[in-house]
A = this chain, B = another copy of it.
Amino acid sequence: MIDIRQMRYFVALAETLHFGRAAERLHISQPPLSRQIAALEKELGVRLFERHSRRATLTHAGRRFLEDARAVLISFDQACRNARLAERGELGELSIGFMMHAAYTVLPGLARRYMANHPGVRVELREVVPATLTDAVLAGQFDAAIMFNPGPIRGLETHTIYRERLCLAVHASHPLADHAVIRAKQLAGEPLIAVPTDVAPKLREAIVAYCRSGGFEPTFRLEVALQQTIVNLVAENLGIALVPQSMGQLGIANLVHRKLEKAPTIEHVVAWRPSNLNPALQPFLAEARAVAL
């Protein structure tokens, strides 16, 4: 059967047109080369070289075979290299799920950095509602996800990469806007705008817990799924909201942000299955840890 070695021999000979020199280049002696070329021609059933007494020349079929053989050798070597790269996580695919808040904090820097250092990995970033992320990771839908810290979950590891305070978002004309720092009890009775529990349970819990620490039960006037919408509604003076500080970057007219006393913090973690064998995952986690510093 024809094999890749005979192709390499053929290309060497086709490029030198001299059995002796080609053999030298291949680090073998001349007779084996003669035999391998003869065997190749016999197995192909095609005469590849015209043997003249002083030099060899390619036949037309040989010229054609040279073109093809070069391409085969290149793709062959590439395949071997790619396998090694894939095992080291430098080539492959990596799917990352994230909640919207990450798009305003760690995600852009992390994604840019990872892609720059691992250009061979096709990264798929997909935003989903935070509540579905843990299940999606456990189901293998994502290799990793960036979410609020869900606490310990069997089969899931997490690493905190970002931690931020919640702050108060209110309309500029709202009485609370006059205070530099707001205490929890001052929020009593204020109509709150927040995401529904099923969208971001951890964020919601933090808000509820903070209100209770002020001695009252929060009243949610509006529940909307998009964080962007929440702050817009606050800017329309339809209520107040507790939002991660990073939302303050949006720069919305008539909207101000105020510090909270003993502000609750919320953690962004990267979460993954330890049993996930995608080699591209570990380098990604390493980048995530580096970003967390």
Q: A residues touching B (Cβ–Cβ < 8 Å)?
A: 1-5, 7, 44-48, 50, 59-65, 68-69, 71-72, 75-76, 78-80, 82-84, 86-87, 91-92, 277-280
State A279–B7 Cα separation when bound (angstroms).
Answer: 22
Q: A80-B2, A80-B44 are in contact. Are A68 and B75 (CB under 8 A)?
A: yes
A60 touches B86 (CB 8 A): yes
| Nearest CB of B to A167, in Å | 42
A61 touches B86 (CB 8 A): yes
A contact patch SS:
helix
A92 touches B78 (CB 8 A): no
| Nearest CB of B to A112, in Å | 24
Question: Quick one: which of B4, B64, B65 contacts A4, CB cutoff 8 A?
Answer: B4
State A68–B280 Cα separation when bound (angstroms).
Answer: 18
Q: Name the residue of chain B whose CB is nearest to the CB of A59.
A: B277
| Nearest CB of B to A275, in Å | 12
Most buried by B among A62, A79, A277, A279: A79
